[in-house]
Amino acid sequence: MSTQDPYGTSDQPHRTGSSASGSPGSQPSWQQQAPAAPQQGYQQPAPYQDAPPAQGGYPAYAGQGGYDRPAPKNGVGLAALILGILGLVGILVFGLGGLLGLVAVILGFIGVRRVKRGEATNRGAAITGIVLGLISVVLGIVVLIGLVFLGSKVSDCATYLQNGDQAGYQTCIENGLGAQGATN
């Protein structure tokens, strides 16, 4: 009785082109019949315990028979959305909103590129992050210009306070900023 391994090959040597006796009527090895199936009483050991052998004695592997797509990489688009929102809120803090908005714009464009390549699925979140980031950058620039203008006016009027001229300071603030100065 010959034994057969799980891959369908026997323990007998393969023939190449002619029979062992060399007779001219023998079939070449590629025309020979396939090895006989194992006999009824013989059971092949299963190489993997969790998967029963499929047809032909080969083990069935998990994931076989379908295309497993990798999980989408949506983190960059989500980060762009979150930073865009935080950028709008951060406008209240000097310059922080503009910086967060700038990072949101950059991450948003990276997220849109990933969607185009099929690596991510959250195009809307990435685009929303870009839009909110741009708004944050623009508002951050406006706030920064306003603060620079305000700072320059206050520093001009501060010279009056350094000289001890309270009335001059109040007049400078009213004329320069269009607001009532603080009275003591």
- Check whether 130 has a pLDDT greater than 90: yes
**SS3 for 93?**
coil
Cα-to-chain-centroid distance, residue 78: 9
Specify the amino acid at residue 42: Y
pTM listed for this prediction: 0.54
Distance of alpha carbon 136 from the chain centroid: 24
Indicate the average pLDDT of the chain. Answer: 75
Read off the pLDDT of residues 82-121 as tens digits, 9 standing for 90 and up. 999 999 998 877 668 889 999 999 999 999 999 999 999 9
For a pLDDT cut of 90, what percent of the chain falls above it? 29
Give the pLDDT of residue 184. Answer: 45
pLDDT band with cut points at 50, 70 and 90 for residue 143 = confident
What pLDDT is stored for residue 81 in this prediction?
A: 94
% the chain with pLDDT above 70: 58
pLDDT digits (tens, 9 = 90+) for 38-68: 556 666 665 555 555 555 555 555 555 556 7
Per-residue confidence (pLDDT) for residue 1, from 0 to 100: 55
Distance, in Å, from the CA atom of 141 to the CA atom of 98, rounded to the nearest integer, reads 7
10 by DSSP, 3-state: which?
Answer: strand
Region 141-166: mean pLDDT is 82
Mean pLDDT to the nearest integer, 113-133: 95
Closest to 27 (Cα-Cα) out of 39, 36, 35, 19 = 19
pLDDT at 114: 95
Using the CB atoms, write b or e for 121-131: b if 16+ within 10 Å: ebeebbbbbbe
Residue 112's pLDDT is 96
Token duo for residue 149: 């203008």
